[in-house]
């Protein structure tokens, strides 16, 4: 009693207002706002030293917060790097190393952890690649509201179908906040604009007409400005914890990489990272020490006073808010090359060296050679040996029974020790640029453009399973069925385990009247993935055509077991019955 009276008196004597503020702050935890800007190179933001662009909103946030000058993502692709931000785990440990790989339930997410503390949670995404119903299953865990895309969009343009403009995304977030004023909030806003294709709206398309990537960044910044102004107008800004981070950078032709995903150079792994603390404490601070995006979630939990004992691959950054602390080792991982049949890459970066494990390994002296142009790899070097030991330690964490390891180990696109014997991505980057261009052209409904790029990619590698598949699928769309069958058959021979390729081949053969061939392809596809309803319906119809009524009936019945109201399966059963009479 006596002791507490003395303490109270002492605190009143020192700072009466502080004591009152602390009590209020403890009662209401701060709103937490996460802004991720896609494909944002740190060195293309004004407050990171790039004077050819105006980014007033990001710069303003840096002025009122702490700017980390050297922050690194472990992954150069969107789903993987966002999963790292939302779990505090490295890609090999959370297991989401490619699109559509589900996040294992064993890994708690940022939203789940804050939800457990009474937060109201919502996510607003700018691209279908983060849609939890299709390409990012599990990423919505813990969110009261997750703003997915419409399931069936007839729109020809990309807007609203595969991508939302930044202003659209922030307005959706603002509308949600207006109708859900009760805090504390955790809101995640994802601005996809700087991702290619670079198509900023006016006036950014004019101001930056020779540098459209920069135009997209400036436009995304204006959307951020709109959102921050909204928060200020509703009195939510001052006491909020706001974190801004890029999910990865962009190659822009460095190391011949046009976009991102294949390599682990700084061009695609160095990202902006800014923390605006409640009540602007530590405002204007810049931290030079090397940090990682795995550190973000542990920091947030530290700041909101969570006692959660989760295992993270990062640590709280709080030590950097007040004083100097040493830089941290940043790992890099990309399994994205596996999608094309090339070796995955791993890297270990400290503030002086970067080692990249590849079929032809690389080592860069970052102080003398910040652009990573002069490979000084030598087998016995000290840093190489230490890096390899660290990578081995990381692999050892991934036992077959470890969560995140098991769910994807069977899947294509997951690194195994054998996969490091595949072709070096350095020899394949031109091909990847072409495949990427074809993918964007297909998304934009430009089949002639897509075909041109795919044919060029096949000139570089006639046995590219990805190019053969993309071309075959394109020809299915353009109704050139016999060409489609040829390309998909070649892709199927190279990758017999790919259910989608076998399904496509079945479709093409059915259209050309080769029903026996279609039957074999569809049976093979369903053996790999029995849950494909459209493939099963088509197989039922192929059996009808082959006059095998019992086999047709089996397929339609199987569909009705999982989807009792499936109209096509019901129509199939009716046809079987009519033929039997
Ligand atoms: Zn991304």
CATH of the domain at 516: 1.25.40.10
d(CA 487, CA 163): 30
316 and 263 in a single domain? The answer is yes
195 CA distance to ligand 1 centroid (A)?
7
Within a domain: 202: yes
Contact 314, 88 (CB under 8 A): yes
- Which of 292, 325, 358 terminates a domain? The answer is 325
267 CA distance to ligand 1 centroid (A)?
13
Within a domain: 23: no
What single DSSP character describes residue 344? -
435 upstream amide cis, omega within 30 of 0: no
Residue-number span of the structural domain to which 384 is assigned: 346-421
78 CA distance to ligand 1 centroid (A)?
3
Give me the residue label for tokens 């400005």: 225
- Which of 421, 454, 481 terminates a domain? The answer is 421
What is the secondary structure of 254-274 as a DSSP string?
A: GGG-SSSSS--SHHHHEEEEE
444 and 300 in a single domain? The answer is no
414 and 511 in a single domain? The answer is no
433 and 543 in a single domain? The answer is no
362 CA distance to ligand 1 centroid (A)?
25
* Averaged pLDDT score across all residues of the chain: 90
Task: State phi, psi for 362 to the nearest 5 degrees.
Answer: -135, 145
16 CA distance to ligand 1 centroid (A)?
47
119 and 267 in a single domain? The answer is yes
144 and 160 in a single domain? The answer is yes
Within a domain: 472: yes
The sign of the torsion formed by the CA atoms of 502, 505, 510, 516 equals negative
394 CA distance to ligand 1 centroid (A)?
24
- Which of 258, 293, 325 terminates a domain? The answer is 325
406 and 539 in a single domain? The answer is no
436 and 411 in a single domain? The answer is no
266 CA distance to ligand 1 centroid (A)?
15
Q: Return the beta strands (E) in 38-144 as ranges.
A: 66-72, 120-124
38 CA distance to ligand 1 centroid (A)?
4
Rounded to 10 deg, the angle between the 212-233 and 56-63 helix axes is 50
Q: Which residue, among 184, 218, 194, has the nearest Cα to 204 in the 3D structure? A: 218
334 CA distance to ligand 1 centroid (A)?
13
CATH of the domain at 557: 1.25.40
369 and 311 in a single domain? The answer is no
Within a domain: 298: yes
End-to-end CA distance of the chain: 94
Helix ranges, 444-498 (H): 447-460, 465-477, 481-494
Measured CA to CA in angstroms, residue 314 lies from 65, 342, 450 at distances of 21, 29, 41
d(CA 138, CA 119): 19
281 and 142 in a single domain? The answer is yes
d(CA 166, CA 139): 20
Bridge partners for 273 per DSSP: 68, 245
Within a domain: 341: no
95 CA distance to ligand 1 centroid (A)?
17
Instruction: Output the tens digit of pLDDT for each of the chain's 581 residues.
Output: 334 433 333 333 333 344 334 444 455 799 999 999 999 999 999 999 999 999 999 999 999 999 999 999 999 999 999 999 999 999 999 999 999 999 999 999 999 999 999 999 999 999 999 999 999 999 999 999 999 998 877 777 778 788 999 999 999 999 999 999 998 999 999 999 999 999 999 999 999 999 999 999 999 999 999 999 999 999 999 999 999 999 999 999 999 999 999 999 999 999 999 999 998 788 999 999 999 999 999 999 999 987 766 789 999 999 999 888 999 999 999 999 999 999 999 999 999 999 999 999 999 999 999 999 999 998 779 999 999 999 999 998 885 544 444 333 334 455 666 777 899 999 999 999 999 999 989 888 899 999 999 999 999 999 999 999 999 999 999 999 999 999 999 999 999 999 999 999 999 999 999 999 999 999 999 999 999 999 999 999 999 999 999 999 999 999 999 899 999 999 999 999 999 88
246 CA distance to ligand 1 centroid (A)?
8
d(CA 211, CA 71): 24
Give me the residue label for tokens 């009716």: 574
36 CA distance to ligand 1 centroid (A)?
9
Encoding tokens for residue 423? Answer: 């072709």
- Work out whether strand 241-246 and strand 285-292 pair parallel, antiparallel, or are unpaired: unpaired
Q: How many domains would you assign to the chain?
A: 4
Mapped onto helix, strand or coil, the DSSP state of residue 42 is helix
Give me the residue label for tokens 């093979």: 524
C-alpha 146, offset from chain centre: 16
44 CA distance to ligand 1 centroid (A)?
15
Encoding tokens for residue 65? Answer: 């917060």
489 and 535 in a single domain? The answer is no
560 CA distance to ligand 1 centroid (A)?
38
Within a domain: 172: yes
399 and 441 in a single domain? The answer is no
Q: Which residues surround ligand 1, an ion (CB under 5 A)?
A: 38, 78, 247
Within a domain: 332: no
Within a domain: 22: no
CATH of the domain at 239: 3.40.720.10
Tell me what pLDDT residue 284 has: 93
Tell me what pLDDT residue 405 has: 41
């Amino acid at each position: 009693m006596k002791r507490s009276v003395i303490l109270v008196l002492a605190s009143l004597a020192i700072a009466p207002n502080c004591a009152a503020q602390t009590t209020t702050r403890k009662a209401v935890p701060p709103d937490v706002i996460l802004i991720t800007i896609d494909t944002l190179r740190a060195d293309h933001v004004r407050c990171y030293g790039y004077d050819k662009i105006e980014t007033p909103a990001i710069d303003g946030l840096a002025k009122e917060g702490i700017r980390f000058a050297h922050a690194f993502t472990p992954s150069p692709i969107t789903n993987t790097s966002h999963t790292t931000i939302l779990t505090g785990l490295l890609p090999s440990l959370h297991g989401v190393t490619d699109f559509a790989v589900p996040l294992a339930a064993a890994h708690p997410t940022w939203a789940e952890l804050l939800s457990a503390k009474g937060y109201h949670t919502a996510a607003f995404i700018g691209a279908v690649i983060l849609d939890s119903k299709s390409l990012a299953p599990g990423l919505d865990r813990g969110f009261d509201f997750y703003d997915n895309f419409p399931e069936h969009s007839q729109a020809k343009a990309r807007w609203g179908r595969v991508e939302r403009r930044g202003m659209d995304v922030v307005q959706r977030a603002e509308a949600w906040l207006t109708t859900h004023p009760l805090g504390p909030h955790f809101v995640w806003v994802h601005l996809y604009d700087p991702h290619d294709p670079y198509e900023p709206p006016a006036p950014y398309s004019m101001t930056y007409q020779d540098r459209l990537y920069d135009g997209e960044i400036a436009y995304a910044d204006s959307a951020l400005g709109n959102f921050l102004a909204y928060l200020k107008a509703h009195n939510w800004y001052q006491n909020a914890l706001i974190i801004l981070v890029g999910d990865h950078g962009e190659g822009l032709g460095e190391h011949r990489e046009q976009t991102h995903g294949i390599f682990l150079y700084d061009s695609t792994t160095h990202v902006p990272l800014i923390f605006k603390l409640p009540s602007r404490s530590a405002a204007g601070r810049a931290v030079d020490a090397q940090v990682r995006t795995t550190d973000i979630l542990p920091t947030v939990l530290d700041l909101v006073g969570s006692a959660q004992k989760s295992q993270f691959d990062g640590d709280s950054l709080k030590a950097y808010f007040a004083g100097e602390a040493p830089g941290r080792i940043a790992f890099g991982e990309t399994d994205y090359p596996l999608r094309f049949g090339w070796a995955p890459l791993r890297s270990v970066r400290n503030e002086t060296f970067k080692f990249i494990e590849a079929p032809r390994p690389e080592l860069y002296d970052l102080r003398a050679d910040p652009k990573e142009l002069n490979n000084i790899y030598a087998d016995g070097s000290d840093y190489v040996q230490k890096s390899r030991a660290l990578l081995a330690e990381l692999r050892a964490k991934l036992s077959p029974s470890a969560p995140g390891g098991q769910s994807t180990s069977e899947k294509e696109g997951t690194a195994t020790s054998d996969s490091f014997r595949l072709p070096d991505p350095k020899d394949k980057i031109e091909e990847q640029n072409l495949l990427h261009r074809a993918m964007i052209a297909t998304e934009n409904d430009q089949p002639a453009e897509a075909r041109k790029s795919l044919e060029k990619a096949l000139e570089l590698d006639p046995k590219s399973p990805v190019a053969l598949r993309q071309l075959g699928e394109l020809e299915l769309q353009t109704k050139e069925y016999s060409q489609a069958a040829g390309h998909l058959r070649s892709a199927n021979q190279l990758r017999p385990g790919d259910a989608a390729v076998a399904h496509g081949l079945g479709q093409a053969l059915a259209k050309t009247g080769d029903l026996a061939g279609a039957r074999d392809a569809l049976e093979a596809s369903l053996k790999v993935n029995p849950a494909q309803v459209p493939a099963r319906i088509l197989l039922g119809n192929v059996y009808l055509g082959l006059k095998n009524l019992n086999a047709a009936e089996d397929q339609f019945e199987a569909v009705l077991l999982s989807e009792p109201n499936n109209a096509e399966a019901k129509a199939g059963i009716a046809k079987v019955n009519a033929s039997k009479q």
